[in-house]
Every structure is written in C-alpha cells, then in structure tokens.
Amino acid sequence: MKQNYTIQRGALDGVEAFVRVAERRSFRQAASDLDVTPSAVSQAVRTLEARMGVTLFTRTTRSVGLTEAGQRFLERARPAFEEIIAASNAARGLGTRPAGLLRLAVPRAAVPIVLAPVLAPFCTAYPDVTVEIAASEELVDLARNGFDAGIRMGEFVAADMVAVRLTNAFRLIAVGSPAYFARCGRPRKPAELAGHACVRMRLSNGAIGHWRLKGSSGPVDFAVSGPLIANDVPTTLVAALGGVALAQVPEPTAAAHVASGLLEEVLADYAPSSPGLFLYFPSRSQVMPKLRAFIDHVKAYADAVLLKAPGKPEGAKKLRRTAGRR
C-alpha cells in the first residue's frame, strides 16, 4: 500500500536570510551580504518564523540576538545549509568544465576498435574526468541506468537518441578456421549451415538469436546449432579461431584474423550489412562538458582513422527509425 507523503512547500525559504542574520547579528549587514534590502531580509525571517510558529530572534533598536529556539535552529540549520551550498557548487562545477564520472555502455567488441585507441590520450587531456566502461552486449536504458552515453550498432540505437557516427557501414560475416574447413568442409549456401557447427548468441532478452543472412528479397533468419552459446562477439571469435565452430561477427572484429589467414570467410555473397557503430546519447541540451569533450575526442579519431572512406555520412544526426531489439 502506498504511503501518503507530502513535501512542505517553501521549506528552505528564509533559511539563508536567517543564517546570515544570525552570523552577522544584524539585518542590515545580512542584507548587504545578500545584496537585497533590509526590509526583504526582515520579511523573509518573519515568514520563516510564522511558518515555524516560533520566534527566532530577539530584536531591539540597538541589537539582534537569538532566542533559545533560534539558537537550536541555527545549530542544526547552518551545517545543513553549508552542505547545500557545497553541493550546489560541486554540481555547478560539473557544468562548467570537463570533470566527474563519465559512464559509457559499450559492447565488448567495440572496445578494441573504438575505445582502446582514444582512452589514454583522453584521460591525459582531461585528468579531472574518470571514465567508467560497462562492456556488455545488453541494450541498456542510458537514463535509467545512469550512463552518459553508449556505443552500439546503428540498428540498435533508438530513434529518439542523438547519434554520432564512429565507423562506416560494415558487413556481418561468417568465418571459420582452416582447421574447421579441413575437417567439416565449407558451406556454399545458407541452407547448408544446417550441417555445420555454428556459434549461437544469447541475446539480452534471454533468447538465442538466429543468424541473419542476405536473401534475394531481403534479410533471412536461419536457426543454427552448435556446441557453443555465447553472449558476446569476442567469445564467438575465440570459438572460430579454435576451430570449434563457425561464427557470424562484425567484419571489423575479424578483419585482422582474416588478413593473417587465421580465419576465412564463407557465404560472402549472403553477408548482411550493419549501418556501423555510433556513439549515442539522449539529448544535445543535456550534454555535460565531460561528455562533450569525449564526443569531440572520439569523433576526431573516427574522422582521422575509422571514416576515411569517401562519401562518409554526416557526423551527428538523429537516426530516423525505431531501434531493433535483440
């Protein structure tokens, strides 16, 4: 059963005026400190006294003193008020310069591609910012879970997010090791995956995902089977490199292994495409200096290294679609 709570309106009204008068023992000097008129301070204190139902000051034409109630109130109110001022200054500081905790939700596979090259120079450039990386395949709610931003493939970024492109579009490729192909042969068509061991992915909703391949009239999902179920791309790559099974992974994560010959691609004509990786966050109007600094930093790296191909998309935009859910 819900409890009925009420918050007293104006509970802090007049407290600053009271503390100033109590410290100065003068309404006029308190008014000078607050840059208001003495009558305004007097009215604020009278309103506070009326709301509390007790007299806080003893006033004469020559001096101002605290009543017993005023003294007790000051003993409790002044430390609390000083804490509120300190908290306000601390919060204000985060809005004026890059500082504080920057929390990022990213898939594990994106860490070596996007984050690893920029973390050290960013931390050196902004020593007052602490970066926390939550590496997970889970599609988190940034606001609800206290994250400043996330990195995801474009198809999983919600339409109401601001998205900054970090990579060009890439393919999702099927790969295996030479040892696997020597032992099991190569699938030539998607239907032949039924006779092969394939790594399956456990999705963030608990279901086991299908492999998605490109068909003649659009993407087609294939239910595959195999000895391993993983929940991240690095683990699926380990399985493929070890010859355990075939794996379907974003092409950038396997590119070095394919180039070295440790992995080989199959079903290349059926590889679907992803829009690429994006940094995303809720609203431009809510961007704190720490996040703005990181956006500028990672975008500069993306422009210089990851987006060199001609015809790159606009750097920051709204993705005009509803995000897919894995």
On whether both 265 and 175 belong to a single domain, the answer is yes
pLDDT of residue 243: 96
| 165 and 289 assigned to the same domain | yes
Same domain, 245 and 280: no
The DSSP H or E segment spanning 320 is none
Q: What's the total number of domains in the chain?
A: 3
| pLDDT for residue 313 | 42
Give the whole-angstrom CA distance, residue 191 versus residue 49: 82
Residues 163 and 301 in one domain: yes
* Same domain membership, residue 265 and residue 125: no
75 plus 115 within the same structural domain: no
307 domain residue, yes or no: yes
Residues 156, 292 within the same domain: yes
Q: Could you tell me where the beta strands, DSSP code E, fall in the chain?
A: 57-59, 64-66, 100-106, 129-135, 149-153, 162-165, 170-176, 200-201, 211-215, 218-222, 229-230, 247-250, 264-266, 273-274, 277-281, 316-318
Whole-number CA gyration radius for the chain:
30
Distance of alpha carbon 261 from the chain centroid: 36
Same domain, 211 and 90: no
- Residue 55, classed as helix, strand or coil, is coil
**Is the sign of the CA dihedral 235, 240, 244, 246 positive or negative?**
positive
Residue finishing a domain among 73, 94, 115: 94
Q: In this structure, are residues 35 and 45 in contact, taking their beta carbons and an 8 Å threshold?
A: no
Residue at 87 is within a domain? yes
- What distance in Å separates the CA atoms of residue 99 and residue 121, rounded to the nearest whole number? 16
Give how far Cα 251 sits from Cα of 26, 84, 229, Å. Answer: 73, 51, 20
For residue 93, name the pLDDT band (cuts at 50, 70, 90). low
Q: Do 111 and 137 reside in the same domain of the chain?
A: yes
Structure tokens at 18: 């009271």
Secondary structure of residue 119 in the 3-state scheme: helix
The verdict on residue 10 lying in a domain is no
In this predicted structure, the answer to whether residue 324 has a pLDDT above a threshold of 50 is no
| Rounded average pLDDT over 22-44 | 91
pLDDT in tens, 232-284: 999 999 999 999 999 999 999 999 999 999 999 999 999 999 999 999 999 76
5 within a domain of the structure (yes/no)? no
Residue 198 belongs to domain spanning: 170-274
**Helix 38-52 and helix 15-24, axial crossing angle in degrees, nearest 10:** 110
Domain boundary among 77, 94, 111: 94
* pLDDT band for position 309 (cuts 50, 70, 90): low
For 261, left (φ over 0), alpha (ψ -120 to 50), or beta?
left
pTM (predicted TM-score): 0.70
CATH code, domain with 28: 1.10.10.10
Which of 191, 175, 198 lies closest to 249, judged by CA? 175
Which one of 45, 67, 94 terminates a domain? Answer: 94
Instruction: Report the alpha-carbon distance of residue 39 to residue 57 in Å, rounded.
Output: 15
Same domain, 233 and 311: no
Q: Tell me what the pLDDT averaged over the chain comes to.
A: 87
Residues 259 and 187 in one domain: yes
Domain assignment present for 325? no
